[in-house]
Amino acid sequence: MKQIALNDFVIGGGTPFVLIAGPCVIESEERTRDIAVQLKEMTDDLAIPFIFKASYDKANRTSKDSFRGPGLEEGLRILEQIKDELSIPVLSDVHRFGEIEKASKVLDVMQVPAFLCRQTDFVMEIARQKKIVNIKKGQFLSPWDVRHVLEKVLHAGNDDVILTERGVSFGYNNLVADMCSLPIMRNFGYPVIFDATHSVQLPGGDGNASGGNRNMALYLARAAVAVGIDGLFLEVHPDPACALCDGPNSLYLDSLPVLLHTLKKLDGIVKEGGESIWN
């Protein structure tokens, strides 16, 4: 099983789960920093490895009028400042070839968005930056089809890759999360993350925006940790009703400590046997 070192922790191989969390998009420098500070305090208190996530540009919004973020230059500046000030690794999704080189100079983890995971040249160019690559599994893919995306990253000479499940399309405006996909994907030999908040998204469910059911994310997060995942992906916001992106499926920031406390205990129980939990 591949283990990936990042800062002072390791992802995968039976180690405690890593939390990837933050707002869907950078709304302002002050708000983004405040969220990062609170998440760092929470994860430090519980000794949970933490990667801060925020998008500098959401290029895949439902409507052309939807808020997308500050853009590449300003967004990367904000993420770099948070990274340096708080000494935490940062992750963001990259949507265009022209962003890859600049993003690689700031991001510790470069995320391939779900909608772009089948774009061979794009995936391989991100892999060539020699940063950790997070592949978001397309909601149109079976778990065994992710192997082909993984092989593209490996062929580009990068084996620091993690795979993220974020639900699969089920009819119109709906996603379902299949817990069986997690061990299937992990059998490829690389760490697997479960995205609990995107898995409860309702794409286009609010007409000109995506809907969601954040309450269900709590149950899915517990279920995925019970499976033995290597990490959990959560989008959080101080006031999801006012969030400029993905509010309906984002968790309340102040609800996180109780959830994380439960998840850490559950993770410890499940992983008492180390890697044997997957046998």
Across 116-125, 166-175, 183-192, 210-219, least confident range: 210-219
Rounded to the nearest integer, the mean pLDDT of the chain is 95
Burial (CB count within 10 angstroms: exposed 0-12, middle 13-18, buried 19+), residue 93: buried
Cβ atoms of 32 and 82 closer than 8 Å: yes
DSSP string, 65-78: TS---S-HHHHHHH
Q: Is the pLDDT of residue 152 over 70?
A: yes
Find tokens 């390791």 and name the residue. Answer: 10
Tell whether the model's pLDDT for residue 61 goes beyond 90.
no
pLDDT at 65: 79
- Closest of 118, 119, 124, 121 to residue 110, by C-alpha: 124
Cα–Cα distance, 56 to 75 (Å, whole number): 4
What pLDDT is stored for residue 210 in this prediction? Answer: 76
165 beta partners: 194
Query: pLDDT at position 157, please?
Result: 98
208: confidence class by pLDDT, cuts 50, 70, 90: low
**Helix, strand, coil percentages, rounded to 5, for the chain:** 45, 20, 35
Which CATH number applies to 4-278? 3.20.20.70
Local confidence band at 277 (pLDDT 50, 70, 90 cut-offs): confident
Give the C-alpha separation, 240 to 266, whole Å.
Answer: 27
Domain residue spans of the chain: 4-278
Q: Mean pLDDT across the stretch 33-48? A: 98
- Contact by Cβ (8 Å): 189, 231: no
CA 249, 194, 5 angle in degrees (round to 5)?
125
- What pLDDT, on a 0 to 100 scale, did the predictor assign at position 53? 98
Q: For residue range 95-135, what is the model confidence (pLDDT) as tens digits? A: 999 999 999 999 999 999 999 999 999 999 999 999 999 99
Confidence of residue 54 (pLDDT cuts 50, 70, 90): very high
Task: Give the mean model confidence (pLDDT) for residues 22-50.
Answer: 98
- Please determine, for residue 202, whether its predicted confidence score (pLDDT) is greater than 90: no
**Nearest CA among 135, 158, 157 for reference residue 147:** 135
Closest-CA residue to 99 (of 119, 120, 129): 129
The answer to whether the pTM exceeds 0.75 is yes
